[in-house]
A and B are shown apart, each in its own frame.
Chain A
Amino acid sequence: MNPLPVLVLLPVTGGGLAWLAARIRPHSARPSARDASWWTVLATLIGETLVLAMVTFHHTDHAGPWLEHFAAPWIPVMGIAFRLDIDGLSLSMIWLSLVLCFLCAFLAPRQDTTGAGTFHFLFLATLTGIIGTFLATDLFLFFFFWELMLVPMFVLIATWGHEDRQRAAMKFFMFTQGSGLVMLLSILGLVMTHYRATGVLTFDYFTLSRTPLSPALSMLLMLGFFIAFAVKLPVVPVHVWLPDAHTQAPTAASVLLAGIMLKTGGYGMIRFDVMLFPDAASRFAPVAMALGVVGILYGAWMSCMQDDVKRLIAYGSISHMGFVLSGIFGGSAMGMQGAIVQMLAHGLGTGALFLIAGAIQDRMHTRDMRRIGGLWAVMPRLSGTGLFFAVASLGMPGLGNFVGEFLVLLAIWHASPIIATLAATGLILAAIYALRMVNRIFLAAPRADLRPVRDFPARQMAVFACVMAFMIVLGLYPQPFMTFSTPAPLSVTAMPRPEGSAP
């Protein structure tokens, strides 16, 4: 049995079961977070992990950068197939998604115990969309998953979010949906061009990559993809949805949004911009790098001014994603690898920061840093964890973000020393916003009206300790991840080899 469709379909199936479990056994006598529905989610995630581990450690007989393939006809008339392929890049992104989902399952408290089943179903449906996005190599299927990940997330924000959730959810939906349509136009344009040139109607990624394109047309199509990914990443002029959505979303959804969903933008840029249209991408690179640097500076600048913890972290994400954008378009393998490491480190670090912000909100019932005050005296574990991840996000050498940022800066330096210097000054701003947060929440004078609150229990600390250890490993020994997560080239090895040609 091929593991790839299982990987995609398992979460949504598990989500359905979780929903059923909550229907069959609605709230037992004591409403707790650990009900049947939650256990179903956990089982689903464990199953998913096992399948993924199988893909990771199962060496296929044909060597090559692509690890697994799956193809089944879907709508043969239009050349649409249910085609999934996995390489190191997709694999590492899916691992990141799973780790963050586990974090959410263990640590994210639900704001509201009502509708736990539905919540879990939507959560896992989003996961299906995300994993599908990372795997699909048929452009129509890719678009399908791209939209699929959007809808459950919209409902999650609009239903379980904070005070201003409706507006934030609507903004999120409008931006991503609108940009998705531009991508659809681009996909159709590419398919039609290929059809005109060769007479074959197909949505297959590998076939389409060989489409002969005029420079102007390839630039146009590339831009169509770029806009969709830029909204998701987000790149500065189209980032408007992000601070609201991240702030208003419930904790688990914030973690999913910041941790993984932003990465689909980066993934898409690598897979569909730089690799499908290399010439157009290299011509577009100066603009993209400039946009990245603008994002770095603007995000950090805005982050310095926030009073809302989650908003501060959200703007910090924009700044970090600027490094990813610059690295991807840096024009060298170094920048690409830096961007990937940055995505992994940012996913973990920001995910953990959102979990901590959520924990603070649960305990203090506010996200306003002016009203939180010094927590170190009452919650040393939570504060220590928060300090660690704040320091990681300011790019402390020895932790994951630094490796990514350094490689990206080095790659940009080859292209333009001035842009690299500007990007480096973003690190000063990063120090300002991270330490402001630390000195307003954790290491500050405790407020007089501070009620006694519960610190993280040892179990949760153990989970956080694992994430911290992973951040340190990523910072000090990133080489295996960098080797492992290199995107596979667009070579013919992608095609399943004819039988018998194997040596």
Chain B
Amino acid sequence: MAATFCGGRNMGEILLPLLVLCPLAASLIAFACAGRVGAGGIGAIACAGVGISAVLGVVVSAILLRGPATGALQVMLWPWMRVAGFSADIAFMLDRISMLMILVVTIVGLLIHVYAAGYMRDDPGIARFFGCMTLFVAAMLVLVLSPDLLCLFGGGGGVGLCSYLLIGFWYDDPANTAAARKAFYMTRMGDVALLCAMLLLAGATGSLRIGTVLAAVANGQVSPTGVNMAAFFILVGALAKSAQIPFQAWLPDAMAGPTPTSALIHAATMVTAGVYLIARLHGLFAMAVPVMALMAVLGALTLLMGACVALAQSDLKRILAWSTISQLGYMFLALGCGAWQAALFHLMTHAFFKALLFLSAGAVIMRARHEQDIFRLGGLRHAMPGLTAAFVTGASALAGLPLVTAGFYSKEMILSGVWRAHFDLTHGWGAGGHPLWGIGLLGAFLTALYIFRCIFIVFCGKADTVATGRTSRLMSIPLGCLCVLSVCGGMIEMPAPLPRPHLFSAFIDPASLLPHVDEPFWPVLAGAAAPLAGVWAAWVVWGRSASVMRDMPGRPMRLLAWLAQHAIPGRAIMGTGRMTQATSTLIFRARTGFLDMLGVWAGRSAGWAGRLLERLHDGRMRRYAAWIAGGLCAGLALAVLS
């Protein structure tokens, strides 16, 4: 048995680089074939690349699961940098956390690719599109598989670049490219913060291998201030990647890209990178309690803000974008409370239902002649019953309707984690998690409210939108798969006070499987009731009397939405742009002024010198002879006297 496991291990070590290589190769082929292969061919290549990767992901997961729970597959490819005092390798590592991530990334990514092959069929830039999409998946796989913070940073850079290219995919409109740049700049700010954290840790430990760093932190090799600083910088990096307060403004603008891109960015890949990073380094964060508290508070604020702003939006895709921000706020709340297992669980279910929501919204928009304003859509349930079912399934999972949807279980796990949390900020003075739990519950109510507002306005009521065409098979199959996942994906983990199964906890972190017998049962019931109340409220306000209550919610929410969209970093970038302009003009003027002055001065002094020299050779022989004699005397005197 041990021998076969070893054999499996070796095979896993071969398959792990292939897992990354397949989408990468598909990307290179797609770029190289631009203009030579038809749309169908490009789509097939891209789907094949991600599909093979998904199959390999399942195989290596099976190999990993046969080993012990704490085991990991390690592959060292080649040394990256070896200098005195620092070393880094290009390597891959698969443990249970990254296994969860590669499964989510490749499987959801594959479904999105299949959908995109149908959705983007008629776009002339399809080769560039699929080249970027597969590259995106490859970069994300590098990110989740790296055992080294430097490799992880590299994957993050690749993800950022691909998101820039995809958001600005339709580059004819300057607004799109501006949104793409905004996304890149904001995530780049986070990258620089992360880089500072890496420099700090590398300076203290001489390596950026996650295992080494965590061990060094646990041994006290890094000073407490250093740990807090590093955790803070990493938190900033994660906040920027995951579009949390104060970096939230880029994500809604990122809707400028094609819809499958939004699904990929929001569901499977980019924004989850921040959550993954913190979950991966939870050992470091456990030593930095103030940063954890800050993270929890920011997460709670973001989840409230995202939900409120989503309530005030009228653009279908923007509602979904703000809901992503809000759901990521839940994950950060969980991470801040130390319940990183719950954050990862919610990440997984969120990937399922958010991909479903985006893809079905994309199909709806496509068939409704690219109308995205929910108030101009209406009564679509008659024209497209299948898409309605898919959207409602995703929405129920997002709202977390009890027992029948995946979102309920993961949200319940987060809420119970928050309920248990306790922040020991200073000696003897701490804070419990109950207020945060209250915010989470309010968020659950608001989530159900805004998403069912959207459903009642778009799908119910009288039919005043003309729908055209049909949803092709390529697009409907992925929707079906995602529906199944959004319904059943959460049932592997029952809420903590309930009996088994607790498969997810057992899988991701067996050590956390402690019985929580002393917990009251009513928080679970409250968590189940909040979404139902939200649905009921949405029905009362928008379902029954759509025409009257359209303008709800009114002005305060709009103000919040405006504030949220013009966040500080966005302002800062605009300000930087204006300031660069001003200062560079100033510097330019000063410099040219100075140089002109210098030039004039140099010319004048040259004139004087010239006139002086002119005097020297004025053609009088007598004076020349005097100069020669004088010079000789001086030279002789020097030679004799010295």
Q: In angstroms, how far is the closest chain A Cβ from the Cβ of B381?
A: 39
| A301 and B171 contact, CB distance less than 8 A | no
Is A111 interfacial (CB-CB < 8 Å)? no
- Bound complex: CA A84 to CA B189 (Å): 47
| B580 and A396 contact, CB distance less than 8 A | no
- Bound complex: CA A410 to CA B195 (Å): 10
| B83 and A414 contact, CB distance less than 8 A | no
Q: B residues within 8 A CB of A407?
A: 81, 83, 86
Which residues between 581 and 622 of chain B lie within 8 Å of chain A, taking CB atoms? 581, 583-584, 587, 591, 595
Is A115 interfacial (CB-CB < 8 Å)? no
Q: B residues within 8 A CB of A482?
A: 81-83
Q: A residues within 8 A CB of B181?
A: 432, 435-436, 439
| A304 and B84 contact, CB distance less than 8 A | no
* Contact A477-B80, Cβ < 8 Å, known A380-B34, A397-B157, A445-B173: yes
Q: In angstroms, how far is the closest chain B Cβ from the Cβ of A465?
A: 10
Stretch at the interface among A51-59, A330-338, A360-368: A330-338
| A398 and B154 contact, CB distance less than 8 A | yes
| B188 and A431 contact, CB distance less than 8 A | yes
| B83 and A337 contact, CB distance less than 8 A | yes
By beta carbon, the residue of chain A nearest B154 is A397
- Bound complex: CA A428 to CA B185 (Å): 7
| B595 and A240 contact, CB distance less than 8 A | yes
* Contact A424-B154, Cβ < 8 Å, known A301-B584, A435-B181: no
Q: In angstroms, how far is the closest chain A Cβ from the Cβ of B543?
A: 43
Q: B residues within 8 A CB of A428?
A: 185, 188-189, 192
Is A476 interfacial (CB-CB < 8 Å)? yes
Is A276 interfacial (CB-CB < 8 Å)? no
Q: A residues within 8 A CB of B287?
A: none
| B203 and A439 contact, CB distance less than 8 A | no
Is A95 interfacial (CB-CB < 8 Å)? no
- Bound complex: CA A420 to CA B188 (Å): 16
Q: B residues within 8 A CB of A479?
A: 78-82
Q: In angstroms, how far is the closest chain A Cβ from the Cβ of B143?
A: 11
Q: In angstroms, how far is the closest chain A Cβ from the Cβ of B605?
A: 14
- Bound complex: CA A478 to CA B185 (Å): 27
Q: In angstroms, how far is the closest chain A Cβ from the Cβ of B535?
A: 43
* Contact A424-B192, Cβ < 8 Å, known A398-B158, A432-B185: yes
Which residues between 84 and 124 of chain B lie within 8 Å of chain A, taking CB atoms? 84-86, 90
- Bound complex: CA A302 to CA B189 (Å): 19
Is B168 interfacial (CB-CB < 8 Å)? yes
| A445 and B591 contact, CB distance less than 8 A | no
| B83 and A476 contact, CB distance less than 8 A | no
**Binary contact readout A428-466 vs B (1 if CB under 8 angstroms, 0 otherwise):** 100110011001000111100000000000000000000
**Binary contact readout B183-195 vs A (1 if CB under 8 angstroms, 0 otherwise):** 0110011011001
| A425 and B192 contact, CB distance less than 8 A | yes
- Bound complex: CA A414 to CA B90 (Å): 24
Interface of B is mostly: helix
| B195 and A409 contact, CB distance less than 8 A | yes
| B161 and A476 contact, CB distance less than 8 A | no
Q: B residues within 8 A CB of A491?
A: none
Q: B residues within 8 A CB of A476?
A: 80, 90
Query: Which of A402, A435, A446 has the most CB atoms of chain B within a 10 A radius of its CB?
Result: A435
| A413 and B158 contact, CB distance less than 8 A | no
**B-side interface residues, number (CB < 8 Å):** 53
Q: A residues within 8 A CB of B184?
A: 431, 435
| B85 and A417 contact, CB distance less than 8 A | no
Which residues between 168 and 224 of chain B lie within 8 Å of chain A, taking CB atoms? 168, 171-174, 177-178, 180-181, 184-185, 188-189, 191-192, 195-196, 199-200, 202-203
- Bound complex: CA A427 to CA B165 (Å): 19
Is A4 interfacial (CB-CB < 8 Å)? no
Q: In angstroms, how far is the closest chain B Cβ from the Cβ of A305?
A: 4
Which residues between 473 and 503 of chain A lie within 8 Å of chain B, taking CB atoms? 476-479, 482
Q: A residues within 8 A CB of B173?
A: 445
Q: In angstroms, how far is the closest chain A Cβ from the Cβ of B231?
A: 16
Q: B residues within 8 A CB of A443?
A: 165, 168, 171, 177
Q: A residues within 8 A CB of B352?
A: none
| B31 and A384 contact, CB distance less than 8 A | yes
Interface of A is mostly: helix
| A410 and B202 contact, CB distance less than 8 A | yes
By beta carbon, the residue of chain B nearest A483 is B82
Is B150 interfacial (CB-CB < 8 Å)? yes
Q: B residues within 8 A CB of A432?
A: 181, 185, 573, 576-577
- Bound complex: CA A443 to CA B576 (Å): 23
Q: A residues within 8 A CB of B81?
A: 403, 406-407, 478-479, 482
- Bound complex: CA A477 to CA B108 (Å): 32
Is B164 interfacial (CB-CB < 8 Å)? yes
Q: A residues within 8 A CB of B191?
A: 427
- Bound complex: CA A436 to CA B203 (Å): 34
Which residues between 28 and 59 of chain A lie within 8 Å of chain B, taking CB atoms? none
Q: In angstroms, how far is the closest chain B Cβ from the Cβ of A430?
A: 9
Is A376 interfacial (CB-CB < 8 Å)? yes
By beta carbon, the residue of chain B nearest A376 is B171
Is B153 interfacial (CB-CB < 8 Å)? yes
| A397 and B158 contact, CB distance less than 8 A | yes
- Bound complex: CA A240 to CA B35 (Å): 45
* Contact A444-B177, Cβ < 8 Å, known A376-B171, A397-B157: yes
| A420 and B199 contact, CB distance less than 8 A | yes
- Bound complex: CA A445 to CA B168 (Å): 11
Q: A residues within 8 A CB of B591?
A: 240
**Binary contact readout A323-353 vs B (1 if CB under 8 angstroms, 0 otherwise):** 0000000001110010000000000000000
Q: In angstroms, how far is the closest chain B Cβ from the Cβ of A51?
A: 31
Q: A residues within 8 A CB of B158?
A: 396-398
**Binary contact readout A376-420 vs B (1 if CB under 8 angstroms, 0 otherwise):** 100010001000000100001110001100110110011001001
- Bound complex: CA A446 to CA B171 (Å): 9
Q: B residues within 8 A CB of A406?
A: 81, 150, 195
- Bound complex: CA A62 to CA B601 (Å): 57
By beta carbon, the residue of chain B nearest A413 is B199
Q: A residues within 8 A CB of B168?
A: 439, 443
Q: B residues within 8 A CB of A376?
A: 171
- Bound complex: CA A421 to CA B178 (Å): 27
Instruction: Among A334, A374, A446, point to the contact of B83 (Cβ < 8 A).
Output: A334
Q: In angstroms, how far is the closest chain A Cβ from the Cβ of B327?
A: 28
* Contact A445-B174, Cβ < 8 Å, known A397-B154, A403-B81, A439-B168: yes
**Binary contact readout B145-159 vs A (1 if CB under 8 angstroms, 0 otherwise):** 000001001101110
Query: Which of A302, A337, A391, A398 has the most CB atoms of chain B within a 10 A radius of its CB?
Result: A398
Q: B residues within 8 A CB of A414?
A: 85, 203
| A410 and B203 contact, CB distance less than 8 A | yes
- Bound complex: CA A478 to CA B173 (Å): 39
* Contact A444-B171, Cβ < 8 Å, known A334-B83, A397-B154, A479-B81: yes
- Bound complex: CA A190 to CA B592 (Å): 37
- Bound complex: CA A374 to CA B176 (Å): 14
| A398 and B157 contact, CB distance less than 8 A | yes
Instruction: Among A301, A435, A436, point to the contact of B583 (Cβ < 8 A).
Output: A301
* Contact A427-B195, Cβ < 8 Å, known A380-B34, A396-B157, A479-B82: yes
Q: A residues within 8 A CB of B202?
A: 410, 413
Q: Across the A-B interface, give the 3 residue pairs with the lowest CB-CB distance, nearest first.
A: A397-B154, A397-B157, A443-B171
User: What is B's interface to A at a CB cutoff of 8 Å?
Assistant: 31, 34-35, 78-86, 90, 150, 153-154, 156-158, 161, 164-165, 168, 171-174, 177-178, 180-181, 184-185, 188-189, 191-192, 195-196, 199-200, 202-203, 573, 576-577, 580-581, 583-584, 587, 591, 595
Given contacts A421-B196, A479-B78, 14 further A-B pairs with CB under 8 A are A240-B595, A305-B581, A332-B84, A333-B83, A334-B85, A398-B154, A398-B157, A409-B199, A414-B203, A424-B199, A432-B181, A432-B576, A444-B177, A477-B78
User: What is A's interface to B at a CB cutoff of 8 Å?
Assistant: 240, 301-302, 304-305, 332-334, 337, 374, 376, 380, 384, 391, 396-398, 402-403, 406-407, 409-410, 413-414, 417, 420-421, 424-425, 427-428, 431-432, 435-436, 439, 443-446, 476-479, 482
